[in-house]
Structure 1
Amino acid sequence: MKYITLIFTLVFILSSCVKKVDNSTAQYFNLSDVKLLDSEFKNAQLQDIAYLMALDPDRLLAPFLREAGLETKAESYPNWENTGLDGHIGGHYLTALSLMYASTGNTEMKERLDDMISELKRCQDANGNGYIGGVPGGQTAWDEIKVGDIRAGGFSLNGKWVPLYNIHKTYAGLRDAWLYAHNETAKQMLIAMTDWMLDLVSGLSDEQIQDMLRSEHGGLNETFADVAEITGDEKYLVLAKRFSHHEILDPLIGHHDELNGKHANTQIPKVIGYQRIAELGGDSAWSDAALYFWDEVVNGRSVAIGGNSVREHFHPKHDFSEMISSVEGPETCNSYNMLKLTKMLYPTFGNNSKFIDYYEKTLYNHILASLNPDNGGLVYFTPMRPNHYRVYSQPETSFWCCVGSGIENPGKYGEMIYAYTDKSLYVNLFIPSVLNWEAKNTEVVLETKFPDEDKVFLTINPGEKTEFELHLRYPSWVEEGALKVLVNGSETKYQVSENGYAVVNREWEKGDKVELVLPMKITTEQLEDGSNNYAFNYGPIVLAAKTGTEDLKGLYADASRMGHVAHGKMIPLKDRPVIVAPADNLPSMLDKKDSDKLAFKLSGLYPEKYENGLELLPFYRIHESRYNIYWSQATDEQLNDMIRQVEEEEKARIALDAITVDKVESGEQQPESDHFVKFERSRTGYANDYHYRETSDFFSYNLKNQDKKGRFLHLKYFDSAYPRSAEILVNNKPAGTIKLNNGDEDAILEKIIPIPDSEVAKQELVFKVQASDKNASMQLIEVRLLTKNEIQ
């Protein structure tokens, strides 16, 4: 998306003079002050309530009870909940119940929340030190850390799978149970658990804590800052600052983008914490760093739906090719956290509507689109790859991070619709809802069929005549001078504020009607790298086409560690639909269909199977189907060259994928954790747009030899200018040797190694790289398990 500066400053309407409007800092209403009316957001909220009720609290509590030495009432859930990240969903569940109770008043949410808190209090009491957690064998790791024995990596801390990230969910859940559901016990538990952390790190130096923070730790700095505000005790703010990772913070303060190759959702919560600390501690440099990060991610690293990252990592801003080729596109958790950061930055930086423009784009096109409207199933990856599809969670099988954040999202759909100051009401989003503005004794009813229609209707109902300024967001997608405001049927002059709002000031009476007309049009959005890939928007809504329902393998995820990835057949990119027209003509290729619902016909497509065109709908309304969001564009002259280039690029990769049984991208957090990585004296790195892992001892992955078809290992690694050597073992049986010296550091090598005959019939193969002769191993980029040697 192109950076939106103050484009509204010079908007004129009806020949009125533009005056600067006082823009004091806006505040948000409580969730309980905003109730959703019938809409797709309301339906998603109802589906989420059903999903929350389908989860068994006793199974979510099992890891906490087990680690506290108490008898469990049910077995743990599967998937991530019993393979190392035990208990993380329990923390998310506390937040989801709290938010939903605040938003809807649903008493079942409150009853479940109170019962969960009661059981977790038993765990805290049994632990006897303030700690609550489901980290398997966590006490051993905490004991080691307390005495300074710290062994940290991106996804591992003292041999545990991101234990700090895990317990952050518990911290956040307790905080939200207090802030949104007013559970006093949760507040006291939160403080006690924070005191436990204070004691845990009391003997550690700042350098040791920074070393520990190399492991993913969620937004612990944010929650510790929240505890400082809740208690009024400065010591917790000091703790929050100590838990702020300077490897990320310091470059941001200096306005240096060093995000390439970094695990995206590890970084966003850290930045949320920087902003929270700045709010409480008054450090404008930290707040400026958060804004710089937001700008870099939103305006240089995001796609049309508002999401970011490929395979969970930030790719180079100049190269979005993997965004189009990979099936592991933007991760929903990233957008969840980017919206959280956006909400914080909006009042800090002058209530600027550019923040709402991004919030709206991402809320509709990624967050709402990530929930199945028929059953509440939640999405992890949203592929931008043409003709691919999404996978949905199930309450009994799926316990990924995006399930945790996903069950939270519908409970806070109402958080940004409105904001206020002492004399102003801001209408930011056009979602049907009722606002109770208690301070003004005023009800506001917002009704609309947006985006199917371009009109929004507000009914203002004060208890008695009341004067205030009504700030109606002037979206970036409405042309200058095109927005209209009618009050009680008559077109009304309005002022335009520098931060992007149409402002009407009057004394309001009960029953006053405001009509906002927001003309929408088709626009295109090119990928940020300048490649010929475009998305269509209608106003803020991303349009997409259904392209088929064949081979939707794993559409509803099972309990496997990689069940969240859409593993069905990848349609070759050479067969994707291409728009044959000059880039400037793209908007004219769409014709609006005569329908009550938003629908367009896209013509001018290649190849022949698309010659009759495709129907484009709002992406958030497309589910359980393959789809197309980004469209390749070519003129007649460019088309043949494009097809030939794509065929050459895809041919070798598709052939390799066809004989691949399993693979691990080394150095990437989720692929490695999904294959139960183990290591000693090992590190990950990033070079030439590739992640890698190396070791001076060993590292290993558990490869899945499905149907026992695997026969060969395919290794991809960097060459080396100095001596490197390693032994390759399978189930501790020697399989081959890698020796490097005097090579080109930038060159990428590949090698095929047969699996030992004694191991080929086994369903699980432990692939191990063992450094030899005191040299470091090669820098491994990827290992694949193949059915045959593709070199032959």
Structure 2
Amino acid sequence: MIAPTRRQLLAGAASIAVLAAAGPGFAAELTGALPKNAKPLPLNAVRLRPGPFADAVETNRKYLLSLSADRLLHNYRTNADLEPKGEVYGGWESDTIAGHTLGHYLSALSLVHAQTGCPECRDRVAYIVDELQIVQNAEGDGYVAGFTRKRKDGEVVDGKEIFPEIMAGNISSGGFDLNGCWVPYYNWHKLFNGLFDAQTHCGVDKALPIAVGLAGYIDKVFAALDDDQVEEMLACEYGGLNESIAELYARTGNDRWLKLANRIYDHRVLDPLRAGEDKLANFHANTQIPKLIGLARIYEVSNSPKDQFAARFFFDRVTHHHSYVIGGNADREYFFEPDHISQHITEQTCEHCNSYNMLKLARHLYSWQPQAELFDYYERTHLNHILSQQHPETGGFTYMTPLMSGAARGYSQPGEDAFWCCVGTGMESHAKHGESIFWQGEKDGQDMLLVNLYIPAQAHWAERGADMVLDTRYPYESESRLTLYGIGKPGRFPIALRVPGFAKGQANVTVNGEPVDAPVRDGYAIVERDWAQGDTLAISIPLELHIEATHDDPDMISILRGPLVLAADLGSTETEFDGADPALVGSNILAGFNATSPEWAVYDTQGIVRPGNLRFVPFYSQYDRRSAVYFKRFSESDWKREEAAYLAEQARLRDIAERSVDVMHLGEMQAERDHNLESDISYPVTYRGKNGRDARSGGYFSFDMKVREGDLMLQATYWGGERERSFDIMIDDYKLATQTLNQNKPGEFFTVEYPIPPEVTKGKSKVRVRFDPHDRNTAGPVFGVVLYTAKKGDAV
């Protein structure tokens, strides 16, 4: 990460003034105690010491080395008419997004090499780059890719076929596909980053010419299009391609790449952010975050204050108004209206890719102007979401981290088929846990060290020739100790230790065991003195229990101990959870918590949990357990009034969930992929906070749904104010119903239940549901479909 110039800092100061006026959470009032900018110690200068984060890196290293580079390269070689050296993997690597994993894999191997010094990881990086060079030379025009294209007749071919069509102005995208290829520019963003990491962390310089050649091919595609066509093309998720091309400009100095980076700009999403407007609701979350990382990188290399403002504004809105207690965001991958967390505590919360990218964005912002609040967010997310995302025994990764009470985490099974997006970002997240512990800057002409994360580690600080060790069991124990075991340039300089916001400015600091006066300024306890070899600086941070409520409902709460989110243990994932969501009752909730194993942040409750006492443990550690994280809070009198209604509503929701055989969230990427959606002249839509899909005259959309024995119902949700339209609903070859929409229920969504004759599903495990518009009509929009078992009394 490149530190800003003085000119950029002056421009940034003007932007910060605007941001401060835009709302809370941007720039806390700073006293000038910190450097104007900062950079992290290089990853290869930091080694993790024993602890959960070191364990995660080692688990990940073994997983990475268990994978076959040749299998991940399969499509790259076949696309270039070269004989593959390994069989293609399954899952997403056998779909039209094939090849995206290789970019993540290159980055992860490079990062593990930097973090641990693993020579085998570096050798594998060098091999992959050699293979990519062979592929690119065979293509002959700079092109190199592993993705494919599915034609309308179902034939799967080389994805390169789409680009002559695009350059001719024939552009078609439903949001996640581009001319029959699944997110090709997103795919290339991952490859670019892998090539850059290979150069940065492994010294494989031949990676850069490959990136230059590929960027040249992409530039030719963009050059053939006018601005409106580029905007149409960028309606398909493109990841952080703008970041990649800006990074290429930084590495080459060629203005061609800066010009291209600025063309990769989605006006629909980014213009409101530049204007300080939060219009994120109903946008696919991880489609947007990398775009802002791209704007951050463009700002760093070209001094564009509007891009800096947009990145800061976006970060503030997401972290303060769209994020859950564990730091993650989004429900079913989509942002919702700000400050509506309590309405979106579901089994589909917190896609890992989102948090991976938000932490990257936080690092950019911190490098521009160090602020403790940025690392309060980073620490919260890193501990509670990122650490929970990898299974410590299998090395598998979650896609979502569910916060709904009783939901189980689903971890990938390392092997043949688990190559979804969060497996890729998981490979990277757990390769670099040492990257943000130590930062450095300059204050009043002096070198300054900043300690932002309390993770056991040793590091070399080149500017002072200092070798140091950070010993800690934080966040389980209060004290962390930094010892200078060697210092090549002894003398006077400041060391800043972050005091987390939850500590409210309270911390005890000692030097060589003696208390020192280190008032907390700008979120840091700063000790400036003449440092010598053997000096030890220690900080003790209070780790008290505290309650955090959602913005929209002060009685929807979570329990934290310091930065750790605590979860009620609801039992093994091997056992179904069929109880009511636990509630917390009483006027002094925290008084009902008794520390049974304080060294591991384990608490038992007495008298405050309904329906019964529960044990609370760190949320991240519940790998194979069911959890409750959010709790409805009641006074004793309110509970007596509400208990019957509360439990009845819980029972109703459980009944619906138990009877559901399959649920289709139309208009949402992963659900549509999981259900093998096929469509023509069909588009995802969003209306009044709900995602859906329609099909225009001459088109259709269809998808698979699971079925089981017995009487079944199909339920579809519509908007009640639609103008007149008619369409047929088919199950396999059977016409289930003809639905007409004509102001059925103005001003509200409504559902229609369609009984399914038993003979339609007899002997089947799944059926194909299809919506066909009548001539000159539209089918839908349909805002979700549920297939469930009928109960006694339902008409079938």
TM-score, normalised with respect to structure 1 = 0.91
Q: Which residue of 2 aligns with 1:257?
A: 278
Moved more, 407-416 or 672-681: 672-681
What SS does the aligned partner of 1:327 have? coil
Cα shift readout 1:271-319 (whole Å, capped 9, x = no counterpart): 1111111111211111111111111110111111101111111122243
2:688 aligned partner: 688
Q: Counterpart amino acid of 2:482? A: L
Structure 1 742/486 Cα, relative in aligned 2: closer, same or farther at 3 Å?
closer
Cα shift at 1:627? 1.3
Relative distance call for 1:706 and 1:727 in structure 2 (3 A) is closer
3-state SS of paired residue (1:165):
helix
Query: Is 1:433–2:457 an aligned residue pair?
Result: yes
- Measured at CA, do residues 64 and 548 of structure 1 come closer, stay the same or move farther in structure 2, by a change above 3 Å? same
Amino acid at match of 2:355: S
State the structure with bigger RCO (CA 8 A, min sep 6), 1 or 2: 1
Alpha-carbon deviation of 1:398?
1.4
- 1:717-749 deviations in Å (ceiling 9; x for gaps): 223442111122233543321112244443323
Contact 1:8 1:496 in 2 (8 A): no
Task: Answer yes or no: is 1:345 the counterpart of 2:365.
Answer: yes
Deviation of the 1:531 alpha carbon: 4.6
Residues 702, 71 of structure 1: alpha-carbon distance in 2 compared, 3 angstrom cutoff: farther
Q: What's the CA shift for 1:777? A: 2.0
| Aligned AA (2:496) | H
Matches within 5 A, 1:277-676: 277-324=298-345, 326-348=346-368, 350-396=369-415, 397-422=417-442, 423-460=447-484, 461-480=486-505, 482-494=506-518, 496-497=520-521, 499-549=522-572, 551=574, 569=576, 571-572=578-579, 575-582=580-587, 585-608=588-611, 610=612, 613-676=613-676
CA contact (8 A) 2:578 2:654 kept: no
Query: How big is the shift at 1:755?
Result: 5.1
> What do you get for the CA RMSD once the two structures are aligned?
2.2
1:36 deviates by 0.7
The answer (yes or no) to whether the contact 1:661–1:709 under 8 Å persists in 2 is no
- Conservation of the 8 A alpha-carbon contact between 1:593 and 1:601: yes
Q: Is the 8 A contact 1:675 1:701 kept in 2?
A: no
* 1:26 aligned to which of 29, 38, 47: 38
**Aligned mates of 1:771, 1:233 — CA distance in 2:** 51
1:72 to 84, 95, 100: 84
Secondary structure (helix, strand or coil) at the match of 1:176 reads helix
* Residue in 1 that maps onto 2:779: 777
Residue 400 of structure 1 deviates from its aligned partner by: 1.3
Once the 2 structures are TM-superposed, how far is the Cα of residue 702 of structure 1 from its aligned partner? Answer: 2.7
Separation in 2, partners of 1:264, 1:758: 38
Task: Output one character per residue of 1:316-370: Cα deviation in whole Å (capped at 9) or x when no partner.
Answer: 224334432x21111111100100000101122x201110110011000110121
3-state secondary structure, aligned to 2:772: strand
Count of aligned positions: 755
2:256 is matched with 235
- Aligned counterpart, 1:557: none
Query: For the structure 1 residues 602 and 759, does the alpha-carbon distance in structure 2 shift closer, same or farther, using more than 3 Å as the test?
Result: closer
With over 3 angstroms needed to count, the CA separation of the structure-2 counterparts of 1:94 and 1:665, relative to structure 1, is same
CA deviation profile, 1:59-98 (whole Å, cap 9, x unmatched) = 2111222222222223222222213321111111011001
Please report how far the alpha carbon of residue 596 of structure 1 lies from its aligned counterpart in structure 2 after TM superposition: 3.4
Alpha-carbon distance in structure 2 between the residues aligned to 1:469 and 1:54:
44
CA 1:653–1:22: 2 relative to 1, 3 Å: closer
Name which of structure 1's ranges 233-242 and 727-736 shifts more when overlaid on structure 2.
Answer: 727-736
How far has the Cα of 1:571 moved from its partner? Answer: 3.2
SS at match of 1:338: helix
Query: 2:436 touches 2:453 (CA, 8 Å); kept in 1?
Result: yes
Residue 170 of structure 2 is aligned to residue 149 of structure 1: yes
Change (3 A) 1:363 1:550: closer
Alignment TM-score, normalising by the size of structure 2: 0.91
Question: How far off is 1:641 after superposition?
Answer: 4.2
Residues 1:48 and 2:51 aligned together: no
AA in 2 matched with 1:779? P
Shift of 1:167: 2.3
Aligned partner of 1:172 in structure 2 is 193
Change (3 A) 1:652 1:586: closer
Q: Matched residues in 2 for 1:710 and 1:110: separation?
A: 58
Code of the residue aligned with 2:778 in structure 1: it is A
Cα distance in 2 for residues equivalent to 1:550 and 1:491: 47
Change (3 A) 1:699 1:721: closer
The answer to whether residue 96 in structure 2 is matched with residue 95 in structure 1 is no
- Tell me the distance in 1 between the aligned counterparts of 2:788 and 2:27: 54
Identity %: 32
Distance of 1:486 and 1:8 partners within structure 2: 27
Is residue 734 of structure 1 aligned with residue 735 of structure 2? yes
Structure-2 separation of matches of 1:721 and 1:45: 53
Distance 2:57 2:722 in 1: 57
Tell me the CA shift for residue 26 of structure 1: 0.9
- The letter for the 2-side match of 1:466 is G
- The 1:3/1:385 distance shift into structure 2, 3 A limit, reads farther
The answer to whether structure 1 residue 751 and structure 2 residue 775 are counterparts is: no
Match of 2:102, SS? helix
Kept in 1: contact 2:342–2:556 (CA 8 A): no
Name the SS of the counterpart of 1:778 in structure 2.
strand
| Deviation larger for 276-285 or 118-127 | 118-127
Which residue of structure 1 aligns with residue 14 of structure 2? none
C-alpha distance in structure 2 between counterparts of 1:256 and 1:51, whole Å: 42
Determine if the alignment matches structure 1 residue 110 to structure 2 residue 122.
yes
Between 523-532 and 594-603, report the one with greater CA deviation: 594-603
Letter in 2 for 1:27: K
| Alpha-carbon offset, residue 701 of structure 1 | 3.1
Tell me the distance in 1 between the aligned counterparts of 2:590 and 2:647: 28
**1:13 corresponds to which residue?**
none
Distance 2:366 2:711 in 1: 53
Cα displacement (A) at 1:174:
1.3
**Compared CA separation, residues 594 and 620, structure 1 to 2 (3 A):** closer
CA distance in 1, matches of 2:762, 2:247: 54
Which residue of structure 2 aligns with residue 15 of structure 1?
Answer: none
Q: Which residue of 1 aligns with 2:151?
A: none
Residue in 2 that maps onto 1:722 = 723
* Matched AA of 2:395: G
Cα contact 1:91–1:172 (8 A) shared by 2? yes
Pairwise CA distance, 1:139: 1.7
Tell me how far apart the structure 2 counterparts of residues 492 and 117 of structure 1 sit (CA, whole Å): 52
* TM-fit CA distance, 1:496: 4.0
What whole-Å deviation, never above 9, does each CA across 1:129-175 have from its counterpart, x for those lacking one? Answer: 21221212312222211211111222121122222222221122112
CA distance in 1: counterparts of 2:118 and 2:450, whole angstroms: 27
Residues 375-396 of structure 1 deviation map (CA, whole Å, 9 limit, x = unaligned): 3221111111112221111111
Secondary structure of the corresponding residue to residue 627 of structure 2:
strand
